[in-house]
Structure 1
Amino acid sequence: MTGWELVAVCAAGVLAGAVNAVVGSGSLITFPTLIAVGVDPVTANVSNTIGLVPGSFTAAHGYRPELQGQRERLLRLGLASALGALIGGILLLFLDPGVFHVVVVALIALACVLVLVQPMLNRWLAGRRGHAHPHGGVALWLWVLAAGVYGGYFGAAQGVLLIGLLGSFLDEDLQRVNAAKNVLALIVNAVAAVLFVLVAHVDWLAVAGVALGAVAGGFLGARLGRRIPAPVLRGVIVCVGIAAIFVLVYG
């Protein structure tokens, strides 16, 4: 990776960190950037997951007040996230790389759709307030497990999935739901990252670029991100996702 390519990866990390702080799905920026600078798709996914862990920690740490009273819930759901991430990471490592190349195109498309429908999803969740199960139950645990598998295999828009699940099954306001989502996403990314460090091929230069950018972007996003219209950010994410699909299919 050349110096200018590393700068591009860092810049993508900054933007991804800021986007994650506002609407999520920052992987739709960093992952295709790594592909564009010549990193193999599976290695790019692995390196991107590891690189985004510091940003996930920053996001979770920033929601400490909203996490009060959720310790027992997060211990239970965190186990589901960890198991799911382990399964997803193993699938990524041991399935034929050609399978990832095909599946990831569909996953990026799904992530783009999730980003587009997030406002409608939030309105729907607001309408369900007061009708959700107070503790989530077995159904939520199993769905969080499935979201963990998705996140361990390919993490883009896992936050949107988790917000939808937690908001549907829990009688909580969206700020506390978002706080819980940040913790579960951190668990998924961290477990998958440990697995990848132990047994996968990692591009550590790519990891460093993404990590440095994501940490800086997370702080910037917390301060400035709310001033940027959400539709603009969603449009950028979807355009990047479409570009990623084009690179993967025709590159």
Structure 2
Amino acid sequence: MSTGEALLVALAGVGAGLTGSVAGLASLISYPALLATGLPPLAANVTNTTSMLGNAVGTTIGSRRELVGQWRRLRTLMVLCGAGGSVGATLLLVTDPSVFEAVVPWLVALGALLLLLGDRLRAWSLARRREPTTASRWRGHLVVASIGVYGGYFGAGAGIIMLAALALRTTEPLAVTNAVKNVTTSTANLVAALAYMVVAPVDWAAAAALASGSLVGGWIGPQLVRVLPEKPLRIGIGLAGLGLAAYLLLA
């Protein structure tokens, strides 16, 4: 990788960290940037996953205010998402990705639509809400673990799907849900990245450049979420998610 390419990848990392921490759409920028350097799809995918560890560090530091009092909840979510991430990483390494990737655009589109319809769905959910049952808790755990599988396998749009899943189960401010989403999905990313570092074709020069940029972008993103109006932001994220779904479908 030339110096010019490294600088462009680092700049793409800033954009990926920013969009990832705000909307869960980091791969909309980082994955195509790696493909543009000439990396084959598998190498670009595992390099992208590895480099997003920088984004995880940046978003966690930037979201410290919103994460106060959330760690008990996060422990459960992180265990579930981490377990799913390990399954997803294994699937990527041992199976043909074509079948799984065929459903990726539709999963991302579903997450985007859930965000766009969030107010109506949340009102409907509150109207029907009763005391949580064991069955409902396990359904919620299964959803989080399944998103972790997807995050460990491919990851593009995993953040927006997780954000939608969490937002439907709570009435807390979007900034708090977004911070919880960032830490939770980062767990699946970490587990997958550790596996890829050992057995997958990670391009370390590209990963280092992308990680450095995503750390900066990941730190800036939560601070923007903190001050931007919630409803327009959620609509913007949803529309961006539909754009990512269309991109993945056409690509």
Report if TM-score (shorter chain) is over 0.5: yes
Is the contact made by 1:47 and 1:204 (CA closer than 8 Å) also made in structure 2? yes
Q: Normalising to structure 1: TM-score of the pair?
A: 0.81
Q: Look up the match of 2:209.
A: 209
Closer/same/farther in 2, CA of residues 199 and 164 from structure 1, 3 Å limit: same
Give the CA deviation at 1:200.
1.3
Closer/same/farther in 2, CA of residues 126 and 21 from structure 1, 3 Å limit: farther
Q: Look up the match of 2:97.
A: 100
Q: Normalising to structure 2: TM-score of the pair?
A: 0.81
Deviation per residue, 1:65-85 (Å, 9 max, x gap): 333333232222221111100
Is the contact made by 2:52 and 2:189 (CA closer than 8 Å) also made in structure 1? yes
Give the CA deviation at 1:196.
0.9
Q: Look up the match of 2:117.
A: 120
Q: 1:194 corresponds to which letter in structure 2?
A: L
Is the contact made by 1:133 and 1:171 (CA closer than 8 Å) also made in structure 2? no
Q: Look up the match of 2:108.
A: 111
Give the CA deviation at 1:3.
2.9
Secondary structure (helix, strand or coil) at the match of 1:156 reads coil
After superposition, the CA RMSD in angstroms is 3.1
1:1-251 alignment, distance < 5 Å: 1-95=1-95, 99-101=96-98, 103-104=100-101, 106-108=103-105, 110-111=107-108, 114-115=111-112, 118-121=115-118, 124-125=121-122, 128-129=125-126, 131=129, 137-170=137-170, 172-222=172-222, 242=246, 246=250
Unaligned runs of 5+ residues in structure 1 are: none
Q: 2:73 corresponds to which letter in structure 1?
A: R
Is the contact made by 2:21 and 2:55 (CA closer than 8 Å) also made in structure 1? no
Count of residues in Structure 1 that have an aligned counterpart in Structure 2: 244
CA distance in structure 2 between the aligned counterparts of 1:195 and 1:215, rounded to whole angstroms: 21
Give the CA deviation at 1:57.
2.3
Closer/same/farther in 2, CA of residues 118 and 191 from structure 1, 3 Å limit: same
Closer/same/farther in 2, CA of residues 133 and 53 from structure 1, 3 Å limit: farther
CA distance in structure 1 between the aligned counterparts of 2:62 and 2:126, rounded to whole angstroms: 25
Secondary structure (helix, strand or coil) at the match of 1:155 reads coil
Give the CA deviation at 1:223.
5.1
CA distance in structure 2 between the aligned counterparts of 1:119 and 1:101, rounded to whole angstroms: 29
Percent identical:
33
Is the contact made by 1:17 and 1:218 (CA closer than 8 Å) also made in structure 2? yes
Identify the range of structure 1 (42-51 vs 220-229) with the bigger mean alpha-carbon deviation: 220-229
Closer/same/farther in 2, CA of residues 204 and 180 from structure 1, 3 Å limit: same
Secondary structure (helix, strand or coil) at the match of 1:59 reads helix
Give the CA deviation at 1:186.
1.5
Q: 1:137 corresponds to which letter in structure 2?
A: R
Is the contact made by 2:159 and 2:181 (CA closer than 8 Å) also made in structure 1? yes
